[in-house]
Amino acid sequence: MSRFKSAFPRQGSLAPPLRTPAPPSLPAARTHPAPPSARLIPAPPSNPLQSLGFFFTAAYLAVLYGALSELLDIIGHIYVPVAYLFGVPAMLASAFAGRFQTIFRTRVGFYMTLLCGCFIASLPFSLVHSASLFLLKSTLLTQYSTFFLIAMLATTVRRVRWLMYILAASCVLDLLAALRFGATVRGRFAVMAGSLANPNDLALHLLVGLPFCLLILFDKRTSTLLKLGSAAAVLDMVYMTLQTGSRMGIICLLLLGGFAVMKASFSQRIALALLTLSLVAALPALAPETWARFAPMFNPAAARQSDLAMEAQGSTEGRLDLLERSLQITFQHPLLGVGIGEFADAEAMLAKSEGVRAHWQVTHNAYTQVSSECGIPAFLCFTAVIFGSLRLSLRLYDQSKRIPNSHQTAQMALNLALATACLAVGMFFDSLAYTYYVPVVAGLSVALWNASQDEQPAAGR
């Protein structure tokens, strides 16, 4: 009995209750805390000032890429100060948003800032200070400011996607304007006035915007009607690019096609194949003069078979001579160049000293345009911005396609890489270093990278 009482103590006793032994179980699996690079990083909180600044940035981007001010001038000679209406409020909002440090989360932002500094540093050494000052002000305030606006105010993947859709819509608007106000002269299609009056500029403009139209086409959430409209716009853009007679356009089209086929999914390859077949069916409608310009690219003997072919061959030789001249001026002024926008004057002085005829033209190469006018350090920064943006987009594409629920981010990164690759190649044949193309593409790359790292596991950061 005493043993029984000792085993079961009275109520209120301080003795611990009798515990039955637990059955044996398997050892728990060892868990490790997730590394910092694989944890979800909360997105930065938005505020009304950032939202307002993003609205003005989106409107400013639409006006720039859609050439709305030029279109209004052509239609009714209406001047709209778009830089003051949209650009200034966006700059003020970005200045007070307190996100300038996000630019330097990537090397692209660092190189872009250095590039702008090189532009400014070249001003005291310019051959014509007043002309360089005017172009420098336009370049920094109107064109290159778009990089900082996009990188600071497009704080989410959704906002970056909206900017890409705006670029696609602006490109479609340019396409419609070209159909209305364009014409074919000697086998080359171009708009009659404005910044797209040069056929090469029109071709590059359409090809850089084309991947953003493909983004709408491949978006699973897009309606069927919008997909059909996007497919029609893509076909028309490619056909109009061929109509410009731009040999640079042919090279960029081949690059886009090969790049897309290597990276696209199976269903996307089928869609691209159908688009290509539809385009091939429309090729016989090209003007014979246009075919004559393309002939020397595939058959050098054809350069002597027609006046237009000889003209195209002469244009190639002239561009090669300008390339040689720009390299010569670069090595004569390697540090800070001859001043922004002053290559034509420097080339004329060089031609006069050699007793030959001056070209009085731009370099027709954005890379040597920067090296000859702003120096080799500016050229290195310019090249680093373009190819750094391409590398950033491709890295984000490889990273996002391995993460669940990141298909849309991967698709955005791929299409942005297509646009950047097209721009990188096109810059070898066009002098557009001081326009908005490079800062817009670089700004989108930085913004998409930063937003994706904030909204999804940053594996491989």
Kindly report, residue by residue over 55-66, the tens digit of the pLDDT.
999 999 998 898
pLDDT at residue number 311: 66
pLDDT at residue number 328: 92
Residue-wise pLDDT for 389-421, tens only, equals 999 999 999 998 888 778 889 999 999 999 999
Least confident span in 366-370, 374-378, 455-459: 455-459
pLDDT at residue number 438: 96
- Give residue 351's pLDDT band: very low, low, confident or very high (50, 70, 90): confident
Least confident span in 168-177, 234-243, 353-362: 353-362
Report which listed range, 165-174, 259-268, 292-301, is most confident: 165-174
Check whether 22 has a pLDDT greater than 90: no
* Average pLDDT rounded to a whole number, residues 351-362: 84
Residue-wise pLDDT for 71-122, tens only, equals 777 776 777 777 678 888 888 888 887 778 888 999 999 999 999 999 999 9
- Percent of the chain, pLDDT > 90? 38
* Average pLDDT rounded to a whole number, residues 349-368: 87
Where is pLDDT greater, at 427 or 285? Answer: 427
- Give residue 297's pLDDT band: very low, low, confident or very high (50, 70, 90): low
Check whether 37 has a pLDDT greater than 50: no
- SS3 of the chain: helix, strand, coil, percent, to 5: 70, 0, 25
Tell me how far apart the 2 most distant CA atoms of the chain are, in Å: 128
Alpha-carbon torsion (327, 332, 334, 335), positive or negative = negative
Check whether 161 has a pLDDT greater than 90: yes
Long-range contacts of 326-329 (CB under 8 A, 24+ apart): 326/363, 326/365, 326/368, 326/369, 326/371, 326/372, 327/368, 327/371, 327/372, 329/372
pLDDT at residue number 281: 72
What does the DSSP assignment read for 70-101? HHHHHHH-----HIIIIIHHHHHHHHHHT-GG
Contact 312, 246 (CB under 8 A): no
Check whether 280 has a pLDDT greater than 90: no
pTM of the model: 0.84
Report which listed range, 121-125, 217-221, 269-273, 352-356, is most confident: 121-125
- Give residue 298's pLDDT band: very low, low, confident or very high (50, 70, 90): low
Averaged pLDDT score across all residues of the chain: 81
Check whether 163 has a pLDDT greater than 50: yes
Tokens (6 digits) for 444: 């989108």
Distances in whole angstroms, Cα of residue 198 to Cα of each of 105, 250, 319, 366, 456: 37, 16, 15, 16, 43
Q: Smallest Cα–Cα separation from 360: which of 378, 342, 345? A: 345
Check whether 34 has a pLDDT greater than 90: no
